[in-house]
């Protein structure tokens, strides 16, 4: 019962966030060139819609902690759910506060799209639609690998090739410029 609720909720959240993120990507013209991911860094003056998107993302993942208690999640499920909730929260907060929001937006769209397929397949599985679930799982398996490769490519292009063109010797908190070698290398990890 708790896995069904989790998959249903995450499917809706991932789909809505992926669609909203893609809309932002096109409205803000971040897709006209790959260099838009790093050109003009630091991206500290965000349009309202981008800032709102990230605040909603942070709020959703923070709300997941008390929800685990209220859903009375079993102990054997708790560690896994805490792990992915914490990892999403750390990624989104770090990207937001370090002003790497454009690349984070692209990565979130990719991951949310594929993760929504996973939860759709789980819902089909829980509904005993085995053939449909297996088909969706197969598509998910292929896209999972492609998205991970795409994420690695985006990260390398942004943090290894793009941002070093305007690298700073030290962090400048006043301007929001965290484009130093140490920060970029940690983002790649």
Per-residue pLDDT reduced to its tens digit, 2-12? 788 999 999 99
Domain ranges of the chain: 2-188
Residues 139 and 116: their CA atoms lie apart, in Å, by 12
Q: How far apart are CA 14 and CA 122, in angstroms?
A: 14
Provide the pLDDT confidence category of residue 31 given band limits of 50, 70 and 90. Answer: confident
Answer yes or no: are the C-beta atoms of 166 and 141 closer than 8 Å: no
- Rounded distance, CA 137 to CA 134, Å? 5
**How many C-beta atoms surround the C-beta of residue 73 within 10 A?**
18
| pLDDT, tens only, 53-92 | 999 999 999 999 999 888 888 899 899 999 999 999 999 9
Q: pLDDT for 104-151, tens place per residue?
A: 999 999 999 999 999 999 999 999 999 999 999 999 999 999 999 999
Query: Which of 41, 47, 52 is CA-nearest to residue 103?
Result: 41
For 60, 99, 141, the CA distances from 13, given in Å and listed in that order, are 9, 23, 21
Residue 57, CA distances (Å) to 25, 44, 82, 115, 174 in order: 16, 18, 16, 15, 25
Query: For residue 189, is pLDDT > 90?
Result: no
Contact between 57 and 92 (Cβ < 8 Å): yes
pLDDT score of 58: 99
Q: Are 138 and 114 in contact (CB under 8 A)?
A: no
pLDDT of residue 146: 98
Task: Read off the pLDDT of each residue in 10-23 and give the average, rounded to a whole number.
Answer: 98
- State residue 180's pLDDT score: 97
Model confidence, pTM: 0.94
* CA–CA gap between residue 184 and residue 189 (Å, rounded): 9
Predicted pLDDT of residue 148: 98
- Among the residue ranges 29-33, 64-68, 171-175, the one predicted with the least confidence is 29-33
On the question of pLDDT at 100 being above 80, the answer is: yes
Identify the three-state secondary structure at position 172: strand
> Quick one: average pLDDT of 19-44?
94
Residue 78 CA from chain centroid, whole number: 21
Return the percentage of the chain with pLDDT > 70, whole number. 99
């Amino acid at each position: 019962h708790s896995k069904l609720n989790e998959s249903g909720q995450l499917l809706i959240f991932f789909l809505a966030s992926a669609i909203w993120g893609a809309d932002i990507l096109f409205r803000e013209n971040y897709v006209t060139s790959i260099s838009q991911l790093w050109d003009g860094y630091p991206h500290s003056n965000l349009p309202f819609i981008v800032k709102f998107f990230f605040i909603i993302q942070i709020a959703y993942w923070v709300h997941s902690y008390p929800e685990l208690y209220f859903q009375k999640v079993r102990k054997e499920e708790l560690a896994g759910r805490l792990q992915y909730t914490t990892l999403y929260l750390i990624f989104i907060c770090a990207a937001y506060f370090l002003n790497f929001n454009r690349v984070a937006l692209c990565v979130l769209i990719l991951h949310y799209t594929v993760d929504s397929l996973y939860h759709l397949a789980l819902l089909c599985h829980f509904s005993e639609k085995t053939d449909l679930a297996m088909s969706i799982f197969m598509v998910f398996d292929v896209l999972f690998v492609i998205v991970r490769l795409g994420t690695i490519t985006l990260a390398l292009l942004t943090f290894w090739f793009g941002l070093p063109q305007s690298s700073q010797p030290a962090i400048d908190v006043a301007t929001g410029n965290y484009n130093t070698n140490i920060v970029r290398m940690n983002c790649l990890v």
